Structure 1
Amino acid sequence: MVAVLAVAIGLALAMLVANQAVTGKVAELNASVGTVLTVNPAGGQGFEGGGEPLTAAQAATAAAVPNVTSVVGTKALRLRNAAEAAAEAASGRTGQGGPGGQSATSVTTSLTAAVDAGTLGNRNQAASGASGSGTAGSTQAAPSFSLPVTATGIGAEVDSTGKALQLTQGTGLGDYTATSTGALLGTTLATKNGLSVGSTFTIKDQTFTVKGLFDAGTAFGNNALYVTLPTAQTLAALPGELSTMIVTVNSMENVDAAKTALQAALGSDKADVTQGQRNLQTAISSLDSVKNISFIAFAAALATAGLIILLIMVMLVRERRREIGVLKAIGAPNRTIGLQFVLEALVLVAMGSVVGAAIASFASGGIASALISSSSNTTAATGQRGGPGGFPGGPGGAFGGASQLLTSVTASASPGIIATGIAAVFGVAIIGALVPALLTARIRPIEVLRGE
């Protein structure tokens, strides 16, 4: 019976650990990108499409929308290495277009991109209309291109998705609303060019100083730099123009309403308002399901442990009816009899909790993964027509990148969670021991002894 009790306690603790892990992940998602909206020019995104650029006046309009807490404007640039750009121009080849219709070669830098073009980069740039790439069926080797460095002017210390920049060295740029010669570089871009905090480089023959290094977590994200918004607008020779606006809403519940209000305020023919991560709500919904299931399983396992304790104590009380009758006959109060059985139950629970905690430490991760995997498969099955080729996890599918958010949940059996679970088990044990003991203690001693 103690072994069965230990398994029940272990399952309860494992479910509690899984519940706490999922709860923490949901809170993390809601606090990060869950309340971020992105505003792009209508018909355009990044360096693709068309339409009219966003303006500072539109940023002020967006800031006045209810439930909007902040609006951060950005200006995107593509920087080409000066030497490589000159070589491409001399060979009759051009790169992709730059911001505001400028040629990318007009915004030059002394920096060399940290990512090699490779097969994908050469293919993409050749397909964008670059000359000298040859015709179909030609045996001429495809030309080699250099990748541009992504430069973004920002009005606050955030990245292009609205998350706070994760600086690994140095400091921020100070006042992001003023022109500055400081810059923040991705770690790999700085390493590629042999730069560190305090080093200098040039953009458009203007000297910039590295104020800090950041880690975006991806190779593409680290092949980038950030400057203040007015600086980027000056480099692009397009003052007051914005590439995108990052809008933060005060809570997850108000995102949909704020999105609708923003679209109405800015005009559907002027701006496109999108959620930073389309699949975030799907991920949070799936995680909420896992959280609910784990909590119900915890309560069920806890109730099972309580039932086991109750059955054990019922058997003990029935076997010791004569002892209870004798204690009552010599004047023992009910609380003394109840306390005796409660202490015995707590000893059993303590033994079961030691084994149960060990079971939870080893099994909680696997149980959480199984619950999340089951939830992921269920959600993906409901939207299997969303992705390309019918693949539910593809871009634009019903589940898409949300699966990566789900698999990033890790369950850790911390001492605090284990202690909370064991305290709940002890509470159930006290109730399970008191009920049969007190019911028997109410019997008159003469009835107990007569029955014996």
Structure 2
Amino acid sequence: MSVLARSVGNAFRNKIRTAAVVAVLAVAIGLALAMLVANQAVGGKVQELNASVGTVLTVNPAGAQGFDGGGEPLTTAQTATAAAVPNVVSVVGTKALRLETATASTSTTGTTTQQAGPGGGPGGGTSVTTNLQAAIDAGTLGNRNNTSGSTGSGNTATGSTGTAPAFSLPITATGIGAEVDTAGKALNITSGTGLGDYTVASTKALVGTTLATKNNLKAGSTFTIAGKTFTVAGIFDAGTTFGNNAVYTTLAEAQALAATPGELSSMVVTVNSMANVDAAKTALQAALGSGKADVTQGQRNLETALSSLDSVKNISLVAFIAALGTAGLIILLIMVMLVRERRREIGVLKAIGARNRTIGLQFVLEALVLVALGSVVGAAIASFASGGIASALISSNSSTAATSQRGPGGGGFGGPGGNPFGGASQLLTSVTASASPGVIAAGVAAVFGVAVVGALVPALLTARIRPIEVLRGE
């Protein structure tokens, strides 16, 4: 107990120096912990992408994408063919609908007919009426597309020479065969419950958060589709305003509303690992037939995103090791200085019978006291700085990759000024670094390990101090 008490007292012998040492250690330890948190967050995101988005394939009718093209519709029977493909772990059929707000729009100059607008799923979708109001305003782009005269872009005014009426965006409705969205990820239901058995017809529905807010809906509320009353079973959050302007029903119910039993708009196919995606894609295309279906990877630029995230992960790991080494070097230099300063004290202790092990332990404990103080402040720094550091690393790395992949004239893959990452850029910015107690504890343990090593070296130097030489010099 006396050794511990003496070590704590020695640590605070010179308060100004102690404060300076703790401040320097806090910066080094805080940086090390922040880098460790960023490394863990990026590593977790990579695993999440490999386990979800990166393993998803989308199957559409051949020649159809969105509202363009044609081809023959997919069928429920084809899901069994897709499920039999090696490395495929699940196949979810979807049926897309477009819900148009029921209005009687007539004028003296002619009749306005609501056409298919943005919002349907791959392979097109059947338009049916609803009493719901869309949660997204058409805005300048929607009304511009509506009056452009392009097929399927908005309202078509028949026999009218006046200004086209304001366009109302349709609501996306999707029938699904399992509790996953059209990207293959589990639906994030924020209130209420799921639909139960997604393979049977049911008048229960899931409603997006923005659509529910717009129409004052909550779990248990009712609305109509094609004159049929539906009950809100739950509210989901898709993460985007457009995604939340949507309704999910069971697959069988959507097929019944569209009067197309057994017909699918698309299939969401999940592969067991990212390494097997290419092989599964080829086998799936062959099994379904190139003239029957088009198979695409759900996130075509995911490899670019993963490469960028892996670079960030490696950078943060190197920075963590460097900051950890810096903390150890600081401890080493401080303890060497203390041993030199206390040569006379060490000599006296050895002259009265103190063993080298006891003296060395005193210096190690003194170093650990300083490291403990620095770790407390460093952990606070890491909790506030880890998120910003992770974002800065990701932003810097993705910007560098974007610059290196731009084509002539500075344009990206998508044309001049385009983003070479495409939709994968959203995956990069969605990394959230939070200083969890487990990660901080692991980082502090590593710091203490380095501190022990840094303190042992000068502690061993005490064995070389000969009491007779010290006392002779007095």
TM bucket, shorter chain: 0.7 to 0.9
Task: Work out whether residues 73 and 123 of structure 2, in 8 Å CA contact, stay in contact via their aligned partners in 1.
Answer: no
Tell me whether 283-292 or 204-213 shows the greater mean CA deviation.
Answer: 204-213
In 1, Cα distance between the equivalents of 2:114 and 2:357?
A: 91
2:306 corresponds to 1:280? no
- Kindly report which structure 2 residues correspond to 1:50-69, keeping only aligned pairs within 5 A, or say none: 50-69=70-89
Task: Work out whether residues 208 and 247 of structure 2, in 8 Å CA contact, stay in contact via their aligned partners in 1.
Answer: yes
- CA drift of 1:4 comes to 3.4
In 1, Cα distance between the equivalents of 2:63 and 2:52?
A: 27
- Kindly report which structure 2 residues correspond to 1:80-91, keeping only aligned pairs within 5 A, or say none: 80-84=100-104, 91=111
2:138 corresponds to 1:113? no
- Kindly report which structure 2 residues correspond to 1:150-299, keeping only aligned pairs within 5 A, or say none: 150-299=172-321
Task: Work out whether residues 111 and 193 of structure 1, in 8 Å CA contact, stay in contact via their aligned partners in 2.
Answer: yes
User: 1:120 is aligned with what amino acid?
Assistant: L
Alpha carbons of structure 1 residues 164 and 359: separation in structure 2 relative to 1, 3 Å: closer
Summarize deviations over 1:104-154 as a string: whole Å, max 9, x none. 66x33333433333433333344334643789xx7x323334332222111
Which residue matches 2:14? Answer: none
User: 2:277 is aligned with what amino acid?
Assistant: V
- CA drift of 1:89 comes to 12
- CA drift of 1:450 comes to 7.4
- Kindly report which structure 2 residues correspond to 1:18-417, keeping only aligned pairs within 5 A, or say none: 18-84=38-104, 91=111, 93-96=113-116, 107-126=128-147, 127-129=149-151, 131-132=156-157, 140-328=162-350, 330-385=352-407, 386-393=412-419, 398-417=420-439
In 1, Cα distance between the equivalents of 2:431 and 2:213?
A: 32
In 2, Cα distance between the equivalents of 1:441 and 1:151?
A: 79
Summarize deviations over 1:337-361 as a string: whole Å, max 9, x none. 2212111212232343344334434
Q: Which runs of 5+ in 2 are unaligned?
A: 1-19
SS of the residue 1:91 aligns to: strand
* TM-score normalised per structure 2: 0.82
In 2, Cα distance between the equivalents of 1:446 and 1:73?
A: 88
Task: Work out whether residues 353 and 422 of structure 1, in 8 Å CA contact, stay in contact via their aligned partners in 2.
Answer: yes
- CA drift of 1:161 comes to 1.7
Q: Percent identity?
A: 77
Task: Work out whether residues 88 and 94 of structure 1, in 8 Å CA contact, stay in contact via their aligned partners in 2.
Answer: no
Alpha carbons of structure 1 residues 102 and 156: separation in structure 2 relative to 1, 3 Å: closer
Alpha carbons of structure 1 residues 291 and 152: separation in structure 2 relative to 1, 3 Å: same
In 1, Cα distance between the equivalents of 2:401 and 2:445?
A: 35
Q: Which runs of 5+ in 1 are unaligned?
A: none
Measured on the aligned residues, the alpha-carbon RMSD in Å equals 3.3
Aligned residues: 444
- CA drift of 1:73 comes to 0.1
In 2, Cα distance between the equivalents of 1:163 and 1:89?
A: 48
User: 2:98 is aligned with what amino acid?
Assistant: R
SS of the residue 1:152 aligns to: strand
User: 2:44 is aligned with what amino acid?
Assistant: G
* TM-score normalised per structure 1: 0.86
Summarize deviations over 1:275-298 as a string: whole Å, max 9, x none. 222233322221221111111111
Tell me whether 278-287 or 108-117 shows the greater mean CA deviation.
Answer: 108-117
Tell me whether 341-350 or 29-38 shows the greater mean CA deviation.
Answer: 29-38
Alpha carbons of structure 1 residues 21 and 450: separation in structure 2 relative to 1, 3 Å: same
Which residue matches 2:12? Answer: none
Task: Work out whether residues 135 and 211 of structure 2, in 8 Å CA contact, stay in contact via their aligned partners in 1.
Answer: yes
Alpha carbons of structure 1 residues 370 and 214: separation in structure 2 relative to 1, 3 Å: closer
In 2, Cα distance between the equivalents of 1:418 and 1:172?
A: 37
